[in-house]
Structure 1
Amino acid sequence: MSRTRSFVQVDVFSTSPYRGNPVAVVLDGADLTDEEMQRLARWTNLSETTFVLPPTLPEADYRLRIFTPQNELPFAGHPTLGSARAWLDGGGVPRHADRIVQECAAGLVTVRRGDGVLSFAAPPLVRDGAYLKQIVAAFGIGRDRVLAHQWVDNGPGWAVLQLATADEVLALEPDLSLIPTAMVGAIGAYPHGSRHDFEMRTFAPRCGVAEDPACGSMSAAVGQWLTSTGAAPSAYRVSQGARLGRAATIEITAGTDGTVWVSGATTVCIRGTIAV
């Protein structure tokens, strides 16, 4: 029998409500089955729906399971920030005042609290190296347009192409039927002095998400790649979602210890209950 649970939707990576990427959060998912979680995620039809559970590791404040409309992910970025905001908004008290520790299938993820903004530490990559294959064909561009390309996989399976300009990224009209199992993105630079340093787009046909409005996990992995190679400064700002009518801003900061932090606004837009 279903019962009523606390439920919120959080808009992530935009200071203007409803211009970022929403995540649905069930704050009490302790006795739900995998099938029930997946069914609800398919019904919300958001890029991700998450379920907060008691932690199994002593270092963690809570455990999080993350579902797309088609499958479960070991880690995802905007659901991490949105779920942390939802947990705090619902009365969660972390063990440490300055940070939250999230347990997920990818391991422990630290979420830093500061000046009302949440930032997560990019988890380690599980795969890297060059990758191109059918992506340029699906993007409808020549290989000569690609400055660099890389696996940037921290769990979901991301790969990315770097193009010369933000305008080239915004102009892409990908044919995702050519890459139905891909998790791929593109990033290109804005002119010096622009409000943002880069424009990024992410496509996740494997998860049933044609284009993600704002992607924290890819931002984290791309941040590790670009800052480590010197292709980007240690702190930069990414715009995402313009082609979808969104206005997301993702802040990337590489610390002196090599940790890459991903920051963005988190706004609780819906509070209520859901019968699951």
Structure 2
Amino acid sequence: MAAVVNEYPFSQVDVFAPGPKPGNPVAVVHDADGLSTEQMQSFANWTNLSETTFLLRPSHPDADYRLRIFTPRAEIPFAGHPTLGSAHAWLENGGQPQGEGELVQECGAGLVNIKRAEDGLSFAAPPLRRSGPVEPAVLEQAVASLGIGHEQVLGSNWVDNGPGWLGIRLATAQQVVNLEPDFSAMGDLLVGVIGAFDDGGPADFEVRAFAPGLDVPEDPVTGSLNAGLALWLRGEGVVAADYTVRQGTVLGRGGLVTVTSEAETMWVGGASRTVVRGVVGL
């Protein structure tokens, strides 16, 4: 006997892609309150994207909607490009936020503020769940898995706002591009690497994000990592109040992330566009 299949509105949104090259896609299932966790995880495994999200009715009175976020392997409390892509899809499908010019997402990391501007959406960088120095043995594993020497590392820190990111800073953007990581050596670590361009470069920094433990060896463009890096590097005086990041270069993507500062809040944003619209049977 065939299983009962229900249809749900579906969007696939490209995030952090201001030009002709693609950014990072997220699959978004709307009105997903009737789905079980097992169905969500199974569909996320099937899409095989770095994240698949499910829009639900909010449980918090201040939230406009609730979001659950899944990698192909596991649910995570927060991620950046799924936040922006899902907000874009929610608005495009008739969502009406309670606030003027901003919307509020409820997710595993709590409430996340998202603001609208002409050039796209931005989310407020959530507080770090884990920060501070990386334990020597963990740092040794991360550096070895990147195939570089400790003399190339200008700094390292936990920058975990949900997924579990560890941040490493190199001197130049080219060093970041040249990395050839050993994913088996990296294991379950989530490693983000940042390096600066010279003046006049395509952006201020190059970033790469590696998450083999989540079945995402290299994520094309990563909002959560960039949010964590922003809080860390601003605290150390490494970054200016506003800057830009290029990501996805090695994967042939054209990701561009903007980071802006307003008082104590760091906003991470970029362009989003819906590429696929339709329904899915789950």
Q: State the Cα deviation string for residues 126-149 of structure 1 (Å, max 9, x = none).
A: 001122130111011110100000
CA contact (8 A) 1:227 1:254 kept: no
Counterpart position of 1:240: 247
The residue aligned with 2:127 is: 124
Aligned residue identity for 1:29: A
SS class of match (1:134): helix
Q: Which residue of 2 aligns with 1:274?
A: 280
Distance 2:179 2:31 in 1: 40
TM-score by length of 1: 0.98
Per-residue Cα deviation, 1:17-73 (whole angstroms, up to 9, x for no partner)? 561000000011101111100000000000000000000000000000000000001
Residue of structure 1 equivalent to 2:256: 249
2:104 to 101, 113, 128: 101
Q: Is the 8 A contact 2:119 2:270 kept in 1?
A: no
Letter in 2 for 1:113: R
SS of 1:263's equivalent? Answer: strand
Tell me the CA shift for residue 16 of structure 1: 2.8
Q: Which moved more, 1:212-221 or 1:110-119?
A: 110-119
1:130 and 1:250 map into 2 onto residues whose CA distance is: 26
1:275 to partner: Cα distance? 0.3
Using the alignment, how far apart are the partners of 2:22 and 2:60 within structure 1?
35
Instruction: Give 2:270's aligned residue.
Output: 264
User: Per-residue deviation at 1:116?
Assistant: 4.5
Alignment of 1:37-186 (within 5 A): 37-131=40-134, 132-186=139-193
CA RMSD of aligned residues (A): 0.9
The Cα shift of 1:3 comes to 0.7
Deviation for aligned residue 1:115: 1.5
Task: Tell me if structure 2 keeps the 8 A contact 1:17–1:267.
Answer: no
Give the aligned partner of residue 4 of structure 1.
Answer: 7
Show structure 1 runs of 4+ deviating over 2 A.
none
Residue 170 of structure 2 aligns with an amino acid whose one-letter code is L
TM-score by length of structure 2 reads 0.96
Decide whether the 8 Å contact of 1:17 with 1:269 is kept in 2.
Answer: no
Alpha-carbon shift at residue 164 of structure 1 (Å) = 0.4
